[in-house]
Each structure stands twice: as structure tokens, then as C-alpha cells.
Structure 1
């Protein structure tokens, strides 16, 4: 499918859905819609991903099948400054995909335009209607289940999940990511966005996801939130218990000391954070933190090497920056 990705004034740092799709998606991205960087190319701003021209509006986009909203704002609200681009896409007969809490299908104008011009609205965050509470059966799957967890939101859990998948596949293993967020769902075309699920059903939703793929060697469950986060610890707990993992991978942003957006809350010391995750997992599984993934994008190459070494020492397990350095054998061995 040929797509345009909307990332107005948020690319790349606050457009993780756009970045994920550019780095791991199978769709051909024909344009990135971003007023701030219009006239450039994607790789001028973010090297190492699928390239595409950056344009100011949907009016400048070549023929595509769909427009995907690539911004993941806190709270998941639709920004009215995007309306003209969504309207234009629908008038051109394009589908529109969004992973927001504000559903496109609840917008009367978008519904009318989709019906008039033959496009479809896809609300990636909308959960299935038949979810139930967990039964505690995820631990019975034959695959090795790896769950990525973090010290905060936006620490690279989705990125780590896909990098582990790719490393496992390179080793000849049949590996798949289990998507639990809108970006993962946009990339893979399946999954459940767990932060939209009724709290009682959230662990059950993850359990269903883990039990869905058949005959896999490795399943990497995409983590969300963080256990010490004052707002989003609930979804983390649901994923941790619903996935019943065999191994945990702790993701962190180099140098970060406080919860983003909640700076009065400091991130616990890393060795304590490891213990927090392992103790909370313990009633459901005997998973331990077996590897670390560190986002060093804010550092130069030399400082990144030192930061990964320090992170490895703090955790007491192999660690890497998966974007800079991939997933070395020692890290994959530890995970598996």
C-alpha cells in the first residue's frame, strides 16, 4: 500500500508512529506531511529509514492509497490543525488511519466524506468488542515470550521489539512482534492497542494476542508505559501479567533522570527498577530482566559507547543501543 504520513511539527521526536512506520513498515511512504520540514527529505532529518519527500500539506502529496496520522500525542486527542489534510485525503478517495483516542468514525464530517468518496476510516486504537478477563494461560504457549519494558514512556520499547525480532529472524528463528500500541498495529496490520481496553480486560487482551500466532519460535511483546509512571503504570502491569513472559528487556533513554512530563517524579535507580519489574512479574512468571536496550540518540558516538557500558554495568546484563549497534549475539543469547 502506498501511503502519506502526517507528522506536522512533530517529526521526528514526537511522531513515533511515523518513525516506526518509516523504519519497520512494509508500506511505501510516498510523502511525509510536515509544515516545519517541508522541502526536505525524510533522511535529511532522520537518517537510516525509508526516504520520502516532506511536503507542507496533503495537497502536495502524489497519488496514495491512504493517509496515516503519524503523531502520538499525550492523551491521544485529534488536533484540529490536521483537519484540512484529513479532509483532502478523504475527498481524494483515500483511506485514513489513526491511532488516536479520538475516533475518526465519531467525526460526522469525516464519516460523510468517506461515504461520498469511497474511502475508509480506520481507528487503530478501537479494541475488539468480545474481550474478556485473562485466564492465566499465556504461559502455556510453546514460543519463547519476551516482553519489552521501560523506565518511562517513549524509551524505545517498540523499537527494541522490532530489532529483537529482526535479529532472531537473522538467526533463522520464526519470530514475531506482538503489537500492543498504535504504532505496532500500524506497522504489522494486527494487534490490540491495550491502553484503550477496559482495565479488567487488558491482561486478557494481551493473553489473546500472545496465544494468536501459531508455530512461532519467539514472540516479542511490545511494552507500554512504565511501572513507576504516575499515570501509565496500569497498562504496563496488564501487559506484564497478560503476556506471562519468559524474559524481560529493560529500555531506557540515556541520561534521563525524571519521568517525562512529570518531572517531580524521578526514575528509580536502575538496579532497583530491575527488582521492581521482576518482583511484579513473579506471581505470574519467573521472568527476569535479561538484557537492556538504551536509546543514545541524543549522544555522539563516543559518549554513546560509554553510556551503553555504564547501562550494562548498572543492570548487570548485556545491553546495546539497537538502532546504532543492532542486537549483538551476546544480547540475543541472553534474551533467548
Structure 2
């Protein structure tokens, strides 16, 4: 559980990755209720957030935590999620400086700050909290195949790769549904979504046998509070490293409908460039056939990340082509409007 006060001053660490490879940082800037007062990126020090992400609240980009202390921060949030979730030792001076200044530290890594002897000792000395959002609950169990009994419509994002906008699409759909007066809820399953929503289970850190059960638990709990659930997807079913997480979400959530996400122009799995991305229509068959024995569902809509296009006309043409390939409505929920696909999902 992440329990930050919206009035807290938050510094986001995104060294040498902002904005394109710091999706946690960008997600927090765009969707969280935190007051982000600075971003740490030694490669872009002296620039501003608005220079790179114009549709979020602006903040200065500084070289190190010592420079951000002038903003009287309350929290340092690590806004990078590298492959494997490791801790980069070049961040240690910034984390140390934050703790010594009395700041809580929030991280979504597989490397737990609470288990780091230096950080744990410093945190105890300075009375601050180390919050590892990727640490799952201790009481998870296997799935009972009960998500189909949830008293809510369940929508899940699936993708052609990692970082194709699965979380972003769900958050945009939640906002669009709520604008219509629909009681919609977001189910976070990864570190960034948990940081934004303040709750959730990091499915990629759960024991494999319990992963679908963790998803099922979240679905059943959230269904008691909402009429429609938009579930954050993870990875892709063809990923050589992360396909197990994707399958656990598909079978644990038992969704009524799927949204397929893709990044325009991407031809290979990010970080695994020897593995080509199959044709989009093959993904439709893969996801629907994999779901069918457990809980049949269908790809009812698509979301296309069109950042590769400079102008809206080219982006719109790409979206229309993507929709035709899927044989379902599609949009870029950030560039255009998530409301365009909401009807198909509901």
C-alpha cells in the first residue's frame, strides 16, 4: 500500500531515462495526485519536464537529490523500472541524501530497499519509511476460478509487447467512463499503477502458483466497490521472459473483454530485439484461444500508441489501419479520446 499525502512534495528519480524509458516517472506525473516538484536526471539537468512531456504539471529537472532539497521534498520516488527490476548503484547517493534529509523513499523494484542494510539503518536513524511497492502480500493463494462470479464487468488490456500503453489505456478508460457517470474502478497490477492508485498487487513478483489467485482476489475485492473494472495488463503472451505474468492475468481476471495495445512502428520485442513482433491479427487469435478453455473472451477494442507520428493526420490513419487489422474499434487514448472505444467495451 502506498499512502502518500497529495500535499507531499515528491521528487522523482529518472536518471538518463527521462522521458522515453522512465514510464513509471511519466505515469506518476500524468496520473498520480502527488505534487511533483523536481525530476532527477543527470543527463537533462537544467531542462524542464514540459520540454519533454507537455501535457503534465511542469517541474525542473535537476542533476541530483542535493539539488532538489531546495524544494523541501517529503518523498523520493524511484521512477525507473529497468528490465529485471534491479537497483543501479549510481542511484545510491541520491537515495542516501533523501533519507538523510528526512524523506520517505518509494520504489517499485525487485530489489527491496527495506532489505538494504545501509538504507534500512539510515531510515531507522532518521525516522523515515522505505516503501517497496513490489513486495506482495504474504497470504496469497492459488486461484479458485471465481473471477467469473465477480459482480462487475471486467476489462483487461493485453499487448503486443511491454510498454505499449496497457496501464495508460486503462486509466484513460476509467476517466472516460467516470465522466459518463459509470461507477468504474482501476485494478493496478504493476508498480507504477500501484504508485498511482495507492493499492494493488505486483503480479510479476508473486510466486507463480499464486499469480492468478492474486489477480482473482483483486477482481473480487474491487467488484464489491465498482460496476466496471479496468484491469492493468502486463507484458505480452509472446515475451520470452514475461509471458507467464500475462497468462496469469488473463486466466486470473477472466475478463469479459480485452483491449489490445500496440506501439506504432515497433517491430521487435523491446530489450529482446532478436524476437520479432508477430502480425497483430495473430495476437488476437493467441489471446482469445488461450482464454477460451478458462473463460472465453474477445478482443473488443484496440489502443495504439502513435508517438512515432508527428502529426495527427498520420496518427489517425495509423489508428484506422490498426482498427481494420483488429476488426474492432481503436484509438490512441492519449492523443485522441478513450471514449471512442468505450461503447464497444461496455
Q: Could you say which TM-score interval applies, normalised by the shorter chain?
A: over 0.9
The equivalent position to 1:322 in structure 2, one of 327, 333, 340, is 333
Q: Is the contact between residue 236 and residue 243 of structure 2 (CA under 8 Å) also seen in structure 1?
A: yes
Match of 1:233 in 2: 243
Match of 2:293 in 1: 283
Please tell me whether residue 135 in structure 1 is matched to residue 144 in structure 2.
Answer: yes
User: Shift in Å at residue 229 of structure 1?
Assistant: 1.0
Please tell me whether residue 109 in structure 1 is matched to residue 118 in structure 2.
Answer: yes
Q: Is the contact between residue 143 and residue 215 of structure 1 (CA under 8 Å) also seen in structure 2?
A: no
Q: Deviations over 1:240-276 (max 9, x none)?
A: 0000100100000001122122222221211111011
Q: Deviations over 1:48-89 (max 9, x none)?
A: 012111111111111121100000100100001100110010
Please tell me whether residue 21 in structure 1 is matched to residue 28 in structure 2.
Answer: yes
Match of 2:273 in 1: 263
Superposition pairs for residues 62-77 of structure 1, below 5 Å? Answer: 62-77=71-86
Stretches of structure 1 lacking an aligned partner (at least 5 in a row)? none
SS of structure 2 residue aligned to 1:322: coil
User: Shift in Å at residue 230 of structure 1?
Assistant: 1.3
Please tell me whether residue 292 in structure 1 is matched to residue 302 in structure 2.
Answer: yes
SS of structure 2 residue aligned to 1:37: coil
Count of matched residue pairs: 335
Q: Is the contact between residue 40 and residue 54 of structure 1 (CA under 8 Å) also seen in structure 2?
A: yes
Q: Is the contact between residue 16 and residue 71 of structure 1 (CA under 8 Å) also seen in structure 2?
A: yes
The equivalent position to 2:324 in structure 1, one of 295, 313, 322, is 313
RMSD: 0.9
Please tell me whether residue 157 in structure 1 is matched to residue 166 in structure 2.
Answer: yes
Q: Is the contact between residue 10 and residue 73 of structure 2 (CA under 8 Å) also seen in structure 1?
A: yes
Superposition pairs for residues 123-272 of structure 1, below 5 Å? Answer: 123-213=132-222, 214-272=224-282
Q: Deviations over 1:196-219 (max 9, x none)?
A: 000000000000111112230111
Stretches of structure 2 lacking an aligned partner (at least 5 in a row)? 1-7
How many angstroms apart in 1 are the aligned matches of 2:43 and 2:176?
A: 35
User: Shift in Å at residue 175 of structure 1?
Assistant: 1.1
**Runs of 4+ in structure 1 displaced over 3 angstroms?**
none
